[in-house]
Amino acid sequence: AQKITQTQPGMFVQEKEAVTLDCTYDTSDQSYGLFWYKQPSSGEMIFLIYQGSYDEQNATEGRYSLNFQKARKSANLVISASQLGDSAMYFCAMRPINDYKLSFGAGTTVTVRA
């Protein structure tokens, strides 16, 4: 079974600053995918970024980057140049290659201040 841990229940960040959201995971699988999703108050889960366990480079998607440290089993999300629209709940998730389900952490609420 996979366990995803997000230790920060809530964070405040000033507009235009960067914020790092922590995620650690526990798995015995060697091949897996790591995902970050954003969930605004509307409820829709929006895919942000993906990192494969065998990818040599950290993933980046626009203002989102993933700080992947395989040996430490961590996959932290960095949001650069925060915007007011970034205020939402952020979830880290994992899926082993031979599994179909996503396992999610408890989420981190980000509030961007003007």
Partner 1 sequence: DAGVTQSPTHLIKTRGQQVTLRCSPKSGHDTVSWYQQALGQGPQFIFQYYEEEERQRGNFPDRFSGHQFPNYSSELNVNALLLGDSALYLCASSFGTTLAKNIQYFGAGTRLSVL
Write out the residues near partner 1 by the rule CB under 8 A: 4, 31-33, 35, 37, 42-47, 50, 52-53, 91, 93, 95, 97-107
Give the shortest CB-33-to-partner 1 separation in angstroms: 4
Q: How far apart are CA 33 and CA 44, in angstroms?
A: 21
Give the shortest CB-16-to-partner 1 separation in angstroms: 29
Nearer to partner 1, 32 or 112 (CB): 32
Give the shortest CB-91-to-partner 1 separation in angstroms: 6
88-96 and 108-113 beta bridge pairing: antiparallel
Q: In this structure, are residues 35 and 20 in contact, taking their beta carbons and an 8 Å threshold?
A: no
Of residues 74, 80, 75, 105, the one with CA closest to residue 17: 80
